[in-house]
Amino acid sequence: MHKVKDFILPTKANNFKSPLLSNKALTVYFIFLLFINIILPIFAIKSNVSILSLYNNINKYREDHNLKDYVFSKSLSQSAQFIIDDIQRYQYLSRINPITGYTYYSFIDTKRFSNNNEIILKNYNLSNINTQNIFNSYSNAILNKTNDIGIATQKINFFGTPSYITVILTAYGNSKNTTPVFTSNTRGEFIDYSIITYTDFLLIIFILSLMFLDITFSIYYNSFEDKSIPHTNFAMVVIAILIILILVIGISI
């Protein structure tokens, strides 16, 4: 009967060939890397990196003024997206729809959220100057005692010109209906790319550790028990590590 170590270390039971360094195992690692580095981000919400960065910048601004961080609300973010859809349909950039007379209150569940505020940004970017201008212009909406925030951003055709529209909604709501988002974690529909990078590095360390054990066992058994050198497929391992490094560099740029 195989022991746990027989599935990890090169032992007599597996003919001194670690199953975790087999070609099948390396293929699984490769597929996993493709998933977390390429496929997973595709399913993130549009402009999630910009939204997460803006969310973190706003909370940093609040912390600097001794206020608690906002809690990210999926409901308010959905309302913000509805407002962007309405802006695209009726081509306006004001707090009141000039055609229908709707305001942002029309898109918010006022039974769940009170003390609502709206910020509409056109072609927002993440430069420090741009961010500080937002804080200066909308400090009343950002520096208040509301606890929830919703953010949506989308590239739309605005009067014949492609433009990025960002809508920020702040409100006082029921925290049970919100989703917290943290800078160092993946929560809700956000993807923090640093997690992917750390996962890539951990996988590199994992594979290198297995290689070290494989080589150590090879030397030991070849020297004392006259066993043949284990199967370690160095070519596949090197290729896997190179692929990981390329993905890590790509994410870091």
Concatenate the DSSP letters of all residues of the chain into one string.
---GGGGTS--TTTTT--GGGSHHHHHHHHHHHHIIIIIHHHTSPTTHHHHHHHHHHHHHHHHHTT-PPPEE-HHHHHHHHHHHHHHHHHT--SSB-TTT--BGGGGS-TTTEEEEEEEEEES----HHHHHHHHHHSHHHHSSS--EEEEEEEEEEETTEEEEEEEEEEEEE-GGG-----TTS--TT---HHHHHHHHHHHHHHHHHHHHHHHHHHHHHHHHS-PPPP---HHHHHHHHHHHHHHHHHHH-
Sequence letter at residue 220: Y
Taking the domains of the chain in order of start, what are their residue ranges?
A: 4-42+194-252, 48-184
pLDDT at res. 189 = 46
User: Tens digits of per-residue pLDDT, 142-153?
Assistant: 998 888 999 998
Q: Which two tokens stand for residue 117?
A: 């505020």
Contacts of 178 (CB under 8 A, 6+ apart): 71, 72, 73, 74, 75, 148
- Give me the mean pLDDT over the 169-198 stretch: 56
Q: Which CATH superfamily is domain 48-184 in?
A: CAP (3.40.33.10)
pLDDT at res. 204 = 78
pLDDT at res. 167 = 95
pLDDT at res. 234 = 60
> How many angstroms from the chain centroid is the CA of residue 162?
25
pLDDT at res. 157 = 92
pLDDT at 210 over 60: yes
